[in-house]
Amino acid sequence: MNSNVVIFEKHDGIGKITLNRPKALNALTIETFEKLREYFIKTREDDEVKILVLTGAGRAFSAGLDFSLLGSTLLENLSKLRPFIRMIQGTINMLESMEKPSIAAINGIALGGGTELALACDIRIASEDATFGLPEVCYGIIPDLGGAQRLPRVVGLGRAKELILTGDIIDAQEAWRIGLVNKVVPKDELDNAVKKMANKIMENGPIAVGLGKMVADKSFDVDLKTILEYTVLAQDICVRTQDLVSLYKKKLEKIKKEK
């Protein structure tokens, strides 16, 4: 087993996970998902990590599932297919459900499972040479890692169906136009843009950020009355922390300096 298929590092509150199979365009294997699960848990439990960045080595974020898995493992033993898909879904769900926010730094090709992995992040920043798509139907299968569910929530049902049913590949500017990514930047500015966004988020109250993320995510799952009650409870938690007073003073000082 190659322990370097995924690399984890942390610096100044930012945890960074890098998919590290550049020659294979960071195609996703069972080992990749096992390491991702390990590092998602590590991120969730490490108090020094305030925000997570997910990216890929080389010229791809991820080209999606390694199709050699289908030939050598799953198609030869279809009884393994359902537990395999559920395992991968569970790993990606961990990224979305963790309280700490995440940013996908999409540095190139993001297809199939690569797009689905990016969709599970809270914010997506892409280099101008990035490409996106869910081409599974072209191979007679469907997106099964959450892309068919998360994409409509991000870009709307009509645009999501078009991408899912045609398997079309879109460039970074089109992804920005339809709202799939938050920002597109030149390739050599991607790291700085991601760090700037991460630092901006980390300046805010960590409890409020975490609860804000969770309330926003839940707004798709429950009725308005229920989510408003969640918001009341979340706000009560925020007000009872020390963040409110300290951040208010910090904000006032910043305003005074800017005048």
DSSP secondary structure code for residue 28 in this structure: B
Q: Are 22 and 13 in contact (CB under 8 A)?
A: no
Q: Virtual CA dihedral for 220, 226, 229, 233, nearest 10 degrees?
A: -60
**Cα separation of 199 and 193, whole Å?**
10
Pick from 56, 71, 70, 53: which is nearest to 22 by CA? 56
Out of 31, 34, 128, 136, the active site residue is 136
Out of 9, 31, 116, 258, the active site residue is 116
User: Could you confirm whether 136 is annotated as catalytic?
Assistant: yes
Pick from 105, 134, 128: which is nearest to 19 by CA? 105
Pick from 129, 134, 116: which is nearest to 60 by CA? 129
User: Could you confirm whether 229 is annotated as catalytic?
Assistant: no
User: What are the φ and ψ backbone dihedral angles of 208, each rounded to 5 degrees?
Assistant: -65, -40
**Beta bridge partner(s), residue 170:** 132
The DSSP element (H or E) to which 181 belongs, if any, is none
Which residue numbers are catalytic?
A: 116, 136
